[in-house]
Structure 1
């Protein structure tokens, strides 16, 4: 068999933000493909792959054995960042789940992040929740990028530890401070789609028997922001 790990474009992009020689944790590791790929391509890297359920835990162990990386990757069964001991890793990856779940994992495991200088998050939805957590807990967003895969546009958020909270505006939390500056083609594709989706939601909410006017106002405000960002060529940060 071919003993070279094949990664999706999404995870390849995540891997590109892992510094050479890192000791990192991959939380919710999904067969440990990311740790295996990184350790195959960086002989100084060391990884801990975390899984909360027995089935994925067994699959991750099998992958590590298949690629003969048992001396470089440790697979652990446990909840989120709770699998880590103090000072074990300097980088954490949390990818492939909802933003609210990533925020919960970070919140519940923040006592394990003392030595973690960089967190790479790839939320499938609700990126704003992740940025909000970073802003509140002393991590500055140093890079962001977008990747399209199987018809879905994913955002990857890289945050590095700093000496204090990073102040982000509501617009930066929604769009991403780096993504606002980059304004890639995928950025326009995503936010054109989100604009139309919010228009539909607003119309549905207006037709409700008892409309939630506070929520309606929030969606209307975001619709204006999206329109400004898409058509004015300004970040409106």
Structure 2
């Protein structure tokens, strides 16, 4: 992977960057996404944010190597603190857990004033991201699910709007499975939740084999999740 050829996961993220955006890529690593976006005319200007020294230096080298210093700024800092208020119009946060993505958004939400779109790619815990979007007035406008190198990823696209609109059919299931992903019902979606069902069943088996008392509440919670998965997959 490089700035000319992204991973499939980041290519799908890039597709959703609105033309003319000021892009902020948080946790940018080597800055491949902003370099690709600027080079291909997907955005006019970009900010690559990194909190770790090694990736920060890698991002600086990548931007210099591509000759894009005039259009891409590499900044070191934690999450959205690298941004000035009302600076970015599109923010991408990719390759982290959903809990961490939600924490980054929560800690820096005062920087989201002029942001028109969030493109979020949690490796796990997408339900946490959906919950944050609802609580903070962001409407989920699209979702994708894909498999790459044996891992399954979800991409969430959100804009300011009615945060409950996508969940009117069933909020609980929408948060867990994704309202758009459930509707699309792709082979990758089915595979993800078949694997998750097996994982939960293994946990229940381990609880039962442990012989410990006081685990009934946890067991019922896991069984409830399994029942929801079965209901969705049997549509």
2:199 aligned with 1:197, yes or no?
yes
State whether residues 117 and 161 of structure 1, in contact with CA within 8 Å, keep that contact through their aligned partners in structure 2: yes
What does the per-residue CA deviation read over 1:145-199, in whole Å, with 9 as the maximum and x for residues that have no partner? 011111001000111111x542641111110011011101101111111111111
State whether residues 10 and 147 of structure 1, in contact with CA within 8 Å, keep that contact through their aligned partners in structure 2: yes
Quick one: distance in 2 between partners of 1:23 and 1:110?
17
Q: CA RMSD in A?
A: 1.4
Aligned to 1:84: 83
Quick one: distance in 1 between partners of 2:186 and 2:125?
19
Matched pairs, number: 229
1:222 corresponds to which of 198, 215, 225: 225
Deviation at 1:58, TM superposition (A): 0.5
Quick one: distance in 2 between partners of 1:93 and 1:178?
19
2:127 aligned with 1:128, yes or no?
yes
For residues 25-174 of structure 1, the aligned pairs below 5 Å read 25-42=24-41, 44-162=43-161, 164-166=162-164, 168=167, 169-174=171-176
The alignment's TM-score, normalised by the length of structure 2, stands at 0.93
Deviation at 1:10, TM superposition (A): 0.3
Quick one: distance in 2 between partners of 1:61 and 1:121?
23
Deviation at 1:135, TM superposition (A): 0.8
State whether residues 205 and 211 of structure 1, in contact with CA within 8 Å, keep that contact through their aligned partners in structure 2: no
Please state whether the residue corresponding to 1:87 is helix, strand or coil.
Answer: coil
State whether residues 50 and 76 of structure 1, in contact with CA within 8 Å, keep that contact through their aligned partners in structure 2: yes
State whether residues 139 and 164 of structure 2, in contact with CA within 8 Å, keep that contact through their aligned partners in structure 1: yes
Deviation at 1:96, TM superposition (A): 0.3
Note closer, same or farther for the CA distance 1:217–1:44 as it changes in structure 2 (3 Å cut): closer
The alignment's TM-score, normalised by the length of structure 1, stands at 0.93
1:180 corresponds to which of 179, 182, 199: 182
State whether residues 3 and 32 of structure 2, in contact with CA within 8 Å, keep that contact through their aligned partners in structure 1: no
Deviation at 1:24, TM superposition (A): 1.2
What does the per-residue CA deviation read over 1:21-50, in whole Å, with 9 as the maximum and x for residues that have no partner? 110100000100000001000075211000
Note closer, same or farther for the CA distance 1:192–1:63 as it changes in structure 2 (3 Å cut): same
Quick one: distance in 1 between partners of 2:111 and 2:22?
14
In structure 2, runs of 5+ residues without a counterpart are none
Which segment drifts farther, 40-49 or 194-203? 40-49
In structure 1, runs of 5+ residues without a counterpart are none
